[in-house]
Amino acid sequence: MNINITQTTNSKLADIDFNDIPFGKYTSDHMFMMDYDNGAWGDFRIVPYQALMLDPQSKALQYCQCIFEGMKASIGMDGVPKLLRPDLNIERFNLSAERMCMPLIPEDMFMQALKSITLCEINWIPKEVGSALYLRPTMVATESSLGVTPSSTYTFYIYTGPAQPYFNKPVKLITEQTFIRAVPGGTGEAKTGGNYGASLKAGQLAKQNGYDQIIWLESPAFKKIQEAGMMNLFFVIGDTVITPKLSGAVLKGTTRTYFIDILKEKNINVEVRDIYIDEILEAYKNNNLKEAFGAGTAAVVSHIAEITHGDIQMVLPADTEKISTMLYNEITGLRAGTIQDKRNWLVSVKENILTLS
């Protein structure tokens, strides 16, 4: 795979204050791109960050045939950029592609694309512990035709942007009992734009009422817990950690997978199963709900301070966040290089796959 590189003549790097980089605010100088036509990927290139040329009638715009991923590259104490378990993101991207009738990307091609853009943007990776370069691999359907059929052509790109540690304050959540994000058989397990568009209304109403996020419950009973906003959920009941099993409507979070693996390794009881809101209410009533937290790439952990369900409010004291804090420290330490990578989860980006001219 030969990557053609066009370097920017107008770098934005000097304009960025690395002490003030709110998540998602800045994009870096370059992006990786490739196109799919006649059944094959080609025209591999790194170009200056730029707008796409999309026909107004393209299937990405008209029928939301588009998917994406979210992951981070960090730079450890050895100065080498690292990706954390990128195979999980590649696998999920290809599952999303399969669900949305889009072409798969061979793992080695995807990995080389990730590595090449990370190396190209090495100066954009913030060095502070907990900071990272956020990578957003995306695929859009480019064919122009009104028929509701899969596109025959696609563009794949990876753009990036620096991100500071995302210390959000403990969040207030409310269960949603009118709107739904996804149902089994729908597209909830795919990372496709429509799921996020569909979630906006409930999120907006929750914010207007003073909540940070909603907890999605499975319709029509609105009892079974799915996930919250852009994160998977974990509850600690007694000395057991529980997290919803994937039902076809829940995104298979990469952070969720790291956490389940770490908990098992540390011999902490972890159960992946159906969880109903009544069980959480009961545990809270019995003083048995010790912790609740969200897991996702942006914040790693979001401590949950409050959950409202109907007219019941569960308030969780901040001093009980032991397991979530341990999990946060494991992932952040691993990325920073202060915790040894015994599990071989980190992929170093040091091959000389780029020669910038």
Ligand X SMILES: Cc1ncc(COP(=O)(O)O)c(C=O)c1O
Chain mean position to CA 109? 21
Q: Which is nearer to ligand X, 70 or 333 (CB)?
A: 70
Q: Closest approach of Cβ 240 to ligand X, in Å?
A: 21
Q: Which is nearer to ligand X, 196 or 354 (CB)?
A: 196
Cα separation, 297 vs 332, whole angstroms: 11
Q: Closest approach of Cβ 182 to ligand X, in Å?
A: 9
Q: Which is nearer to ligand X, 96 or 116 (CB)?
A: 96
Three-state DSSP class for 287? coil
Contact 66, 138 (CB under 8 A): yes
Q: Closest approach of Cβ 227 to ligand X, in Å?
A: 5
Cα separation, 219 vs 176, whole angstroms: 10
Q: Closest approach of Cβ 209 to ligand X, in Å?
A: 21
Q: Closest approach of Cβ 171 to ligand X, in Å?
A: 14
What dihedral do alpha carbons 108, 109, 112, 117 form, nearest 10°?
-150
Q: Which is nearer to ligand X, 58 or 232 (CB)?
A: 232
DSSP 224: B
> If you write DSSP's letter for every residue of 89-101 in order, what string do you get?
HHHHHHHHHHHTT
If one counts every other C-beta atom within 10 angstroms of the C-beta of residue 222, the result is: 16
Q: Closest approach of Cβ 295 to ligand X, in Å?
A: 6
Q: Which is nearer to ligand X, 74 or 151 (CB)?
A: 74
Q: Which is nearer to ligand X, 255 or 324 (CB)?
A: 255
If one counts every other C-beta atom within 10 angstroms of the C-beta of residue 5, the result is: 16
Q: Which is nearer to ligand X, 151 or 254 (CB)?
A: 254
Q: Give the binding site for ligand X (CB under 6 A).
A: 70, 227, 230-232, 251, 253-256, 295-297
Cα separation, 285 vs 302, whole angstroms: 23
Quick one: how many helices (H) and strands (E) in the chain? 7, 18
Cα separation, 349 vs 351, whole angstroms: 6
Q: Closest approach of Cβ 245 to ligand X, in Å?
A: 14
State the residue for tokens 């009738």. Answer: 101
Contact 67, 100 (CB under 8 A): yes
Q: Closest approach of Cβ 129 to ligand X, in Å?
A: 19
Contact 294, 302 (CB under 8 A): yes
- The residues with which 270 forms a beta bridge, in sequence order, are 241
Chain mean position to CA 55? 28
Q: Closest approach of Cβ 252 to ligand X, in Å?
A: 8
Q: Which is nearer to ligand X, 46 or 301 (CB)?
A: 301
Cα separation, 129 vs 75, whole angstroms: 9
Q: Which is nearer to ligand X, 22 or 39 (CB)?
A: 22
